Every structure is written in C-alpha cells, then in structure tokens.
Amino acid sequence: MTDLRRFGMFVCISVLLLVCTIFLGCARLKTSTKGAERAEPAASRQDKTPAPLYYDFEDVLVPSELKVDKKRSFIFYHAPDFTAGVLVLRGRVEVKSLIRFFENNMAKDNWRLASSLKSPCTIMFFNKPNRGCIINITERQLKTEVEIWVAPTMGSVEEGLLK
C-alpha cells in the first residue's frame, strides 16, 4: 500500500507542477505582449497604412495596396529622365477610392486630367506637356486591376516622322 501511496503522491505533485508551469508561462506571455504594446508609439498604432509608392514611372504615385504584375508589365527606359510603357498592378482596393487617389495625386505631380470614362471599367486620361498617361481601372471578382500606360506625346505632324 505504501507503493500505491507514493505513486499517487508522485502523480499529484507532477500534475501540480505541470499546472503551475502552464499558468506561469501564460502569465509571462501576457505581460510581454502588454510591454510590446506600451513600447509602440501612439502615432504608429493609429496609422498603419503603408505610404504610396513610385514604381517605374517617377511621376505616377501608386497606392501601396496594389502589387505589380511583372508578367504583364513592360517598361522602356531610354534616357535618364525617359520611361514609357505599361505597369499592371493588382490588389484589394475599392474602385471609387482608386479614382479619388489618382485624381488627387496625379494633380500633385503636375498631370492634368484631360477626360475620363466610367463604366464597368474606368479609364482616366492625363497629360503633361510632352507625356500622356492612361489609367485603366477594372474591378475583378476578388481583386481590382490597374493598368498605367505612359508614353511620350506626339508633336505636330511637321515634327514627327512624316517631315
């Protein structure tokens, strides 16, 4: 009977130690999480949205929620200040917010909204003195797709190839 008693006492002490270890471990995790929250500044907690980015076109700002589709994008680099081509991006962004974003930020980069078409896909036409930009926004089932086309503008016929 003493062996049975010793075994029972051993099991009770083992269970008690296991329960204490679990509670102490959980309590330690809880305080380390609170400490990490306190160390984080209040400003960064409020604004966790990543800043918009300039990708290949140095004067076309793109929301950071959109990711580049490298297989469908084509950018032509010629001189240090000359890029043209198409940049295709995808992400989970509302079409209306994208339209507002491009209307506001393209104006900041000296683009002028020439015209726009709004239907199931929205096309926005912007221009500068020697460049043009077309932004095509299409809402898909799970993501929104944005195509940004940038090309040099043609001068008058006398300045072009037909001279």
**Which DSSP category does 51 fall into?**
P
Q: pLDDT tens digit string along 25-46? A: 554 444 444 444 444 444 444 5
pLDDT at 16: 59
Average pLDDT value over all residues in the chain: 79
Cβ atoms of 113 and 134 within 8 Å: the answer is no
**Which DSSP category does 82 fall into?**
-
Long-range contacts of 101-110 (CB under 8 A, 24+ apart): 101/52, 101/63, 102/135, 105/52, 105/61, 106/60, 106/61, 106/133, 108/61, 109/59, 109/60, 109/61, 110/59
Q: pLDDT tens digit string along 64-103? A: 999 999 999 999 988 777 889 999 999 999 999 999 999 9
